[in-house]
Amino acid sequence: MDHFLYRDGELFAEDVAVSEIAAAVGTPFYAYSTATLTRHFRLFDEALEGMDHLVCYAMKANSNLAVVKLLGDLGAGMDVVSGGEYRRAQLAGIPGERIVFSGVGKTREEMEMALAGGIRQFNIESEPEMMMLDQVARSMGVCAPVTIRVNPDVDAKTHEKIATGKKENKFGIPISRAREVYAQAAACKGLDVVGIDVHIGSQLTDLAPFETAYGLVADLTETLRADGHDIRRLDLGGGLGIPYEQSNTPPPLPSDFGALIKRTVGHLGCEIEIEPGRLIAGNAGIMVSRVIYVKSGEDREFLILDSAMNDLVRPTMYQAHHDIVPVRAPEPGAARSAYDIVGPVCESGDTFARERQMHRLNAGDLVAFRSAGAYGAVMASEYNSRPLIPEILVQDDQFAVIRARPTFDEMINRDTIPVWL
């Protein structure tokens, strides 16, 4: 469910007409719904009711400070994967004891930053990383809380670029070597081993891979406890999918995910962490664009928008589908056409959809890309020297710009010309 609905033939974001935002800030832009973000976080929190748990929002999905603060104020922890995300979490007021640091390439500087600023745990991804963190922690006179991410070699049955739990993926320690690596960690004076971490991928629409992975983690917990390790926390990752196509069978609900967690690991008495990102932010956002031209080609029509692959790269990068809807609802019985929906970037890959059936549109009409709140603005670039587009947060009948569109000069003036030129 989201809070982008038609009223009297006009698309609204909560109680604000999308066309009103477009008139105020120009197009394209991202708009996020406070009500949807709040609802989706609470669904996960309620799904784990009765268990000691923390829902750590995966900031890589959408790291805007306003979004992070909104979720943090609701009680969310944060899952960060870089020093920049860690700093954003700090600036949004998230205390260190609610920040989990993931990622395969943590640097010494990032480790020092998190140890100095406060951290709930590091999710260790390799033995070299473990050795470096031990060294850094001892040099600072502290003990770093850690889990070790195990790779269970489970096929998440998702897009190959967002699968993370198979043996050929770069993430984690092979689960077959877990006992050996945990023994090494226990011998490190700068580390406090608190638990196990696992994350098998993103946009999962079937619970079966989760069940397989969590069953393996439950068995590993018992084995490691028998080896003398105090396993008291399980970080089970995220990855639950969202319905990008409204016509498809909806993915499992957070309540189904929570019931699975209770069934597979609830008997272990561990504190549970989960790291949802896409399901919290995805359907909480839209990208709004304006039609520049309707162009007739040899065998098709092109809908040329003012947004492009640099603003929303998912269709180009993942062949991802987004429902694209008119901001002004068509009249009943209005004619339809099949369009290739494209942007102005000088690449054929700058295509959002091919032969998409839409009601007839004209230059100047507004369209909205649904389910664009996750992995939209955070993956945007300035390719073709196109400024990053604004982000807007809506709450009830008000809206605020939470990232402004830079001017051309602001974008270009970050460059410098050396004196010899």
Ordered mean pLDDT values, 10 residues apiece, the chain (421 residues): 92 98 98 98 97 98 98 98 98 98 96 98 96 98 97 66 52 89 97 95 87 94 97 95 78 94 97 97 97 92 97 95 95 90 95 95 97 97 98 98 98 97 97
The structural domains of the chain, with segments of one domain joined by +, span 4-31+282-412, 34-281
Strand bridging mode 99-101 / 29-33:
unpaired
Report residue 61 as tokens.
Answer: 């999905």
Q: What is the DSSP letter of 322?
A: -
Q: Which pLDDT score, from 0 to 100, does residue 249 have?
A: 73
56 included as an active-site residue: no
Q: Which pLDDT score, from 0 to 100, does residue 155 have?
A: 63
56, 143, 188, 346: which one is catalytic?
346
Omega before residue 28 within 30° of 0, cis: yes
Residue 25 carries which side chain, given as an amino acid letter?
V
Contacts of 134 (CB under 8 A, 6+ apart): 144, 188, 189, 190, 191
CATH number of 34-281: 3.20.20.10
Place of tokens 């990068």: 317
Q: Which pLDDT score, from 0 to 100, does residue 136 have?
A: 98
Report the SS3 class of residue 365: coil
Residue 358's nearest CA partner among 413, 289, 312 is 289
Q: Which pLDDT score, from 0 to 100, does residue 170 have?
A: 63
Contacts of 287 (CB under 8 A, 6+ apart): 28, 29, 30, 307, 311, 312, 368, 369, 372, 376, 389
Residue 142's nearest CA partner among 119, 124, 126, 110 is 119
Determine contact, residues 38/73, Cβ cutoff 8 Å: no
d(CA 41, CA 20): 28
d(CA 18, CA 190): 53
Q: Which pLDDT score, from 0 to 100, does residue 165 have?
A: 46
CA distances (Å), 146 to each of 11, 110, 124, 224, 329, in order? 46, 15, 7, 15, 52
Q: Which pLDDT score, from 0 to 100, does residue 168 have?
A: 58
What is the secondary structure of 20-64 as a DSSP string? Answer: HHHHHH-SSEEEEEHHHHHHHHHHHHHHTTTS-EEEEEEGGG---
Residue 385 carries which side chain, given as an amino acid letter?
S
d(CA 93, CA 68): 9
Query: Rounded to two decimals, what is the model's pTM?
Result: 0.94
d(CA 96, CA 90): 8
Question: Comparing 4-31+282-412 with 34-281, is the CATH topology the same?
Answer: no
Report residue 234 as tokens.
Answer: 């399980």
Residue 126's nearest CA partner among 81, 171, 163 is 171
Q: In 165-284, which ranges are E strands?
A: 173-174, 191-197, 233-235, 271-274
Determine contact, residues 380/351, Cβ cutoff 8 Å: no
Q: Which CATH class is domain 4-31+282-412?
A: mainly beta
